[in-house]
Structure 1
Amino acid sequence: MHSVAILALDDVVPFDMAAPMQVFDWTRLPDGRPGYRVRLCAESPEVRADGGFSLRVEHGLDALAEADTVVVPGRSPAAGPPSPRVLAALRDAAAAGTRIASVCVGAFVLAEAGLLDGLRATTHWVAADELARRFPAVEVQPDVLYVDNGQILTSAGAAAALDMCLHMIRRDLGSAVAAHAARMSVMPLEREGGQAQFIVYDHPPVPRGSTLEPVLEWVEDNLAHEITLGAMAARSGMSERTFSRRFREQTGSTPLQWLLRARVRRAQYLLENTAHPVERIARQAGFGSPTAFRERFRRVVGTTPQSYRAAFHAKDAVPAAARI
């Protein structure tokens, strides 16, 4: 079983600590078994939390050496620098190949340990300039929800930790298990927001109850066919100009941008859940040719269809009894 260690340092932000604990603890394999063993660890048995209370922690820093993944939550602005013992334990874990992730301003702890040097990283947008100023060797990206460098991951504000954790679950156990974990957390696998998503996955939102809902559902049902702006407008009973204006008002996107994301999302689903060749997936998602599909997919998702399939192909589906 994959072991996750949540490292609680003095002045830990409670939500930053609890969010990854909960989402990993709720993850279930297709047969109902837990997907992760989650442990809270600390440098000392008692940890002062931001908010005026303390925690009793059973596991020490040795839990980092035993973990497959270490998560470092954020700390209050009043927190002092992490101790040399903590930094050494993180460096040792990284040297051993352990995956290490930070939540919000927990990125500062990773930067102190030198684990972000030469890498892209993110943190809460309020603290992004400070992270860049204090650690010039880090390429700070304040406009994403999380950054995955492979072994080292960082997330933005506390809620973005859920996005990052679901991303890691999908990497570890496949999209079906991650989707179930997302439902348990009442979260989409990926979400719209003021910050960009590092990996685009979820389908564009259909505004439920709006005048656009029927036509957008029709679009999703017919992605394998050619769909024009004129066809969408005619189906909605509007002129192209009126349809485009209403569309942007209700979705924040143009019709063609929405259509493109819907096609990419369909391709991602097929790459994750089928063994169909890329040429067939290109047709099923409505791309004109495999070449156009590969180019567009790489531009939107940031990787090739083959690499995406290798990372996220679902090994099993979540059983009906485990669904909500």
Structure 2
Amino acid sequence: MVCASLILFPGFPMLAYALAREALETVNRLSGEPLLVFDTRIPGHARTEASNGAVMAPDRTDWDGAEEVDLALVICGDILPKRIPNGFQSFLSQVEAAGGRLGGVAGGTTILGKIGHLHGRRAVLHRPADSDDAFPAVDAVDRPFLMDDKRLTVAGGLAVADALCAWIAEVTSPALADEVARSLSSGRILATAPAETEPGDKPGDPVIAEMEARMRAHLATPLSLSEIADEMGLSRKALRGRCVRALGVTPSDHYLAIRLRHGADLLRHTAMPVSEIARESGFETLAGFSRAIRNTLGVSPSAMRKMARAARLVRSYT
């Protein structure tokens, strides 16, 4: 059986902890058997506060069992400890001596560097803005994470999920790691669309309200603006003028925004394949949908889905 230990320092990023814990739990859930065991440890063996204010308690109040740990992952934020406890340092040394892997997330990589565990190695090295620490013996690389020899260093954020999946592939199987990655991305949420919600007030112009209702009724198979105008007994020019005065945008731009909001909601709240979401949002091709999402919202569909999953994870651990 594979064993992991998540070590939290005060101010640790909850997102990183939630993603790491969820990845480990998902291995056992998907495999149907306890392939992994893991625990949470905290230097000082007392409750500590995360960066978002949530308070976590340790699963263990000792540094025993180091010889059984396959991954000791140190998770710390930008506020580094003034003193690194001797018991913690001894635990890491024992894990290393027994052949286990040492890992760090965000400030955790800095801690590993400060106590010499990255000496002479390539690593992702997090340097808080107010830190003047220098690590000339570390070959720092600029990438989300690096699994090199017996180290796993991670910049933080969503990269934690990818890093844990890479480690899971090594200690279990690549196929299972792929399943874990897909599960983390989709959130395993049933493919039922949430109720449509819109920010702000309903349009004051009844003509615009009717236009929007017709648009929402035809998201997967968008109507042409001429069809909408004809059904409402207006010319395209008249409909455009009413829309610009009421909303500040043209009907075509507003229609696209409604369809993209619908697609974004499906990405965030369902496990539907992205290609199906593209069709449900009125796009003929996945490439067209992905480009529109990225151009409008600044992220790819897969990144949006991962961020939504991460947000749910953080809420579940607070």
Q: Residues 57 and 28 of structure 1: is their aligned pair in 2 closer, same or farther, counting only changes over 3 Å?
A: closer
Over the aligned positions, Cα root-mean-square deviation in angstroms equals 3.3
Matches of 1:212 and 1:77 in 2, distance apart? 46
Identity of aligned residues (%): 20
- What is the 5 A alignment of 1:252-263? none
Matches of 1:44 and 1:129 in 2, distance apart? 25
SS of aligned partner of 1:39: strand
In structure 1, the residue matched to 2:163 is: 164
The one-letter code matched in structure 1 to 2:171 is D
- Higher mean alpha-carbon deviation, 151-160 vs 44-53, is at 44-53
In structure 1, the residue matched to 2:311 is: none
Matches of 1:75 and 1:208 in 2, distance apart? 37
How many residues align? The count is: 202
- What is the 5 A alignment of 1:228-307? none
Instruction: Tell me if 1:91 matches 2:93.
Output: yes
In structure 2, the residue matched to 1:56 is: 57
The one-letter code matched in structure 2 to 1:147 is L
In structure 1, the residue matched to 2:26 is: 26
Matches of 1:146 and 1:16 in 2, distance apart? 13
Matches of 1:78 and 1:129 in 2, distance apart? 10
SS of aligned partner of 1:73: strand
Q: Which consecutive residues of structure 1, in runs of 5 or more, have no partner in the other structure?
A: 189-204, 217-245, 253-324
SS of aligned partner of 2:12: coil
Q: CA deviation at 1:69?
A: 1.3
Normalising by the residue count of structure 2, what TM-score does the alignment of the two structures yield? 0.55
Q: CA deviation at 1:160?
A: 0.8
Q: CA deviation at 1:30?
A: 7.0
Rg (Cα) greater in structure: 2
- What is the 5 A alignment of 1:80-229? 80-124=82-126, 127=128, 133-142=133-142, 144-186=143-185, 213=286
Deviation per CA, 1:276-308: give whole Å up to 9, x if none.
xxxxxxxxxxxxxxxxxxxxxxxxxxxxxxxxx
Contact kept in structure 1, 2:5 and 2:38, CA below 8 Å:
yes
Matches of 1:30 and 1:3 in 2, distance apart? 17
In structure 2, the residue matched to 1:226 is: none
Q: CA deviation at 1:90?
A: 1.1
Deviation per CA, 1:155-199: give whole Å up to 9, x if none.
1122111110001111122222112211221269xxxxxxxxxxx
Matches of 1:163 and 1:16 in 2, distance apart? 11
Contact kept in structure 2, 1:26 and 1:34, CA below 8 Å:
no
Q: Which consecutive residues of structure 2, in runs of 5 or more, have no partner in the other structure?
A: 188-273, 295-318
Q: CA deviation at 1:153?
A: 1.1
Matches of 1:251 and 1:15 in 2, distance apart? 24
Matches of 1:251 and 1:174 in 2, distance apart? 33
Q: CA deviation at 1:100?
A: 1.4
Contact kept in structure 2, 1:121 and 1:141, CA below 8 Å:
yes
Normalising by the residue count of structure 1, what TM-score does the alignment of the two structures yield? 0.54
